[in-house]
Structure 1
Amino acid sequence: MLKRKIGRIDYEGSAVMFGAASLGNVTQEEADKSITFALEHGVNHFDTAADYGDAEIRLGPIISKVRSDIFLATKTGERTKEKAKVEIYRSLERMQVDSVDLLQLHAVGTIEELNKCTSKGGALEAALEAKEEGIVKAIGITGHGHQAAVTHLEALKRFPFETVLLPLNYYMYSLPEYRESFDALMNEANNQNTAVRVIKAIAKAPWGEGQERRYATWYEPFDQQEIIDACVHFVLSFPGVAGFASAGDVHLFPKIVDAVERYGSMNNEQAERLLKSISGYTTIFGSPTSIA
């Protein structure tokens, strides 16, 4: 399994993160099978969130037994110090662990949400307090949508987050404004040695009206191995990307791991030729508004 250093955090994490959103609505048996598959294939970077349904509960039985062998990250979507602190402790209890390696302020994709988190009495204060207590080792920020890169660049000016997590795929990066803002974020993250971790690598498009939803993801994912290979190649071709999260369906995870294990068998030109030719490939976040 390809490993990459997680910014200034002293850890070599698997290039693919086990995106535990996939466990939100599965049985414990299904969850155990997927987690075991991950561990057997060298995946040591697990990323979950308090609001991923039952994901933290499903992780607990196995993760608690291999805690020292993995990098464990979770998220709080609360915006006040008081509520975020309660949620952090709840996450530890649900996962049956004493601490997490990374606590992320979740779904901070606009300046408005960033203001809520970083204001007096905001969630960032809870994260800092939890870090002082030793139950959180590092603090990060995540965001969805076309404003995420701009928002996270501003976040790094306000606080030295150890990680950022935001969307990246071939289509989104082809949008001039998103490319410009993502590159600016990458540059600042490199200056601060902040780990850039990405999501939505294999997202194809929003589900169509009346379309059969074959997967648990809230968007239509790519599921053909060759296309997944190209999507994975694209995000991992960024040397500054520390890792990417797998899609939110346990049935897609083996194909994603397979693509990572064969990373390098496809070159940049081959990946671009394939991704550029796909019909119906678009953003899953609606029409992009100005992000300048």
Structure 2
Amino acid sequence: MLKRTIGRLGYESSVVMFGAASLGNVTQEEADTSITYALQHGVNHFDTAASYGDAELRMGPIISRVRNDIFLATKTGQRSKEEAKEEIYRSLERMRVDSVDLLQLHAVGSLDELDRCTEKGGALEAAVEAQAEGIVKEIGITGHGHQAPIVHLEALRRFPFATVLLPLNYYMYGLPEYRESFDALMEEAGKQSAAVRVIKAIAKAPWAEGQNRPHATWYEPFDQQEIIDACVHFVLSIPGVSGFASAGDIHLFPKIVDAVERYGLMSDEEAERILSSISGYTTIFGAPTSIA
């Protein structure tokens, strides 16, 4: 399993993070099987959130036993200090652990959301307090949508977040405004040695109305191995990207791991040929809008 260093944290993480959104609505047996598969294939970075249904509960039985062997991250979507602190403690209890390696302020995709998190009495204060208590080792931020790179750039100016987590795939990076803002974020993150990790690497498009939905993801994902290979090749080939989160469906996870294990066998030209010829490939976040 390919590993990369998580910014200034110095941790050697598998480039694919186990995205535990996939465990939000599965049985304990299914969760155990998926987590065990990840561990057997060298995945040592597990990323979850308080809002991912029963994911933290499903992780508990195995994660608590291998806690010292993995990098464990969770997220709080609360915006006030009091509510965020309660959620942090609840996450630890649900996962049966005493601490997490990374606590992320979740879904901060607009400047209004960032303001709410960073204002006096906001969620950032809870994260800093939890860090002082030793139950949170590092603090990061995540976001969705086309504004995420701009918002996260501003976030890094306000606070030394150790990590950022935001969307990136071939289609989105091909949008001039998104590419420009993503590259600007990468430059600042590099200066601060903040790790940039990405989501939605294999997202194809929003589900069409009335479309059969064979996957648990909230968007239509790619599920053909060759295309997944190309998607993985693309995001891992962007300089400075330390890793990506797997899609929210346990049945897609083995294909994603397979693509990572064969990373380097596909050329940039082949990936470009595959991804540029896909019909119906678009953004899952709707039409891009200005941050102004």
Counterpart position of 2:240: 240
Deviation at 1:239, TM superposition (A): 2.5
Counterpart position of 1:158: 158
TM-score relative to the length of structure 2:
0.99
| Distance in 1 separating the partners of 2:112 and 2:273 | 38
Amino acid at match of 2:91: S
Counterpart position of 2:212: 212
| Distance in 1 separating the partners of 2:172 and 2:291 | 13
Counterpart position of 1:103: 103
Deviation at 1:267, TM superposition (A): 1.1
8 Å CA contact 1:108–1:151 kept in 2: the answer is yes
- Percent of paired sites with the same residue: 82
Deviations 1:139-164 (A, max 9, x none): 00000000000000000000000000
Deviation at 1:213, TM superposition (A): 0.5
Instruction: Report SS of the residue matched to 2:4.
Output: strand
8 Å CA contact 1:178–1:291 kept in 2: the answer is no
Q: Structure 1 stretches of 5 or more lacking a match?
A: none
| Distance in 2 separating the partners of 1:91 and 1:239 | 33
| Distance in 2 separating the partners of 1:290 and 1:24 | 33
| Distance in 2 separating the partners of 1:15 and 1:291 | 30
Establish whether residue 231 from structure 1 lines up as the match of residue 224 from structure 2.
no
Instruction: Report SS of the residue matched to 2:100.
Output: coil
Deviation at 1:107, TM superposition (A): 0.2
Counterpart position of 1:88: 88
| Distance in 1 separating the partners of 2:286 and 2:68 | 40
Counterpart position of 2:142: 142
| Distance in 2 separating the partners of 1:174 and 1:146 | 12
| Distance in 2 separating the partners of 1:60 and 1:66 | 10
Deviation at 1:291, TM superposition (A): 4.5
8 Å CA contact 1:17–1:246 kept in 2: the answer is yes
Counterpart position of 2:40: 40
Deviation at 1:238, TM superposition (A): 1.3
Amino acid at match of 2:246: S
Instruction: Report SS of the residue matched to 1:87.
Output: helix
When the two chains are superposed, the root-mean-square deviation of aligned CA atoms in Å is: 0.6
Establish whether residue 125 from structure 1 lines up as the match of residue 121 from structure 2.
no
| Distance in 1 separating the partners of 2:238 and 2:283 | 20
Counterpart position of 2:286: 286
Deviations 1:45-76 (A, max 9, x none): 00000000000000000000000000000000
Instruction: Report SS of the residue matched to 1:137.
Output: strand
8 Å CA contact 1:200–1:247 kept in 2: the answer is yes
Amino acid at match of 2:71: F
8 Å CA contact 1:173–1:179 kept in 2: the answer is yes
**Which stretch shows the higher mean deviation, 27-36 or 238-247?**
238-247
Counterpart position of 1:112: 112
| Distance in 2 separating the partners of 1:273 and 1:181 | 25
Counterpart position of 2:198: 198
8 Å CA contact 1:177–1:290 kept in 2: the answer is no
Amino acid at match of 1:281: Y
Deviations 1:200-255 (A, max 9, x none): 00000000111000000000000000000000000000120111000000000000
Deviation at 1:192, TM superposition (A): 0.3
8 Å CA contact 1:177–1:291 kept in 2: the answer is no
Query: Following TM superposition, where does structure 1 have runs of at least 4 consecutive aligned residues deviating by more than 6 angstroms?
Result: none
8 Å CA contact 1:231–1:271 kept in 2: the answer is yes
Amino acid at match of 2:240: G
Deviation at 1:10, TM superposition (A): 2.1
Amino acid at match of 2:89: Y
Counterpart position of 1:63: 63
Amino acid at match of 2:221: P
| Distance in 2 separating the partners of 1:71 and 1:239 | 22
8 Å CA contact 1:19–1:248 kept in 2: the answer is yes
Deviations 1:74-118 (A, max 9, x none): 000000000000000000000000000000000000000000000
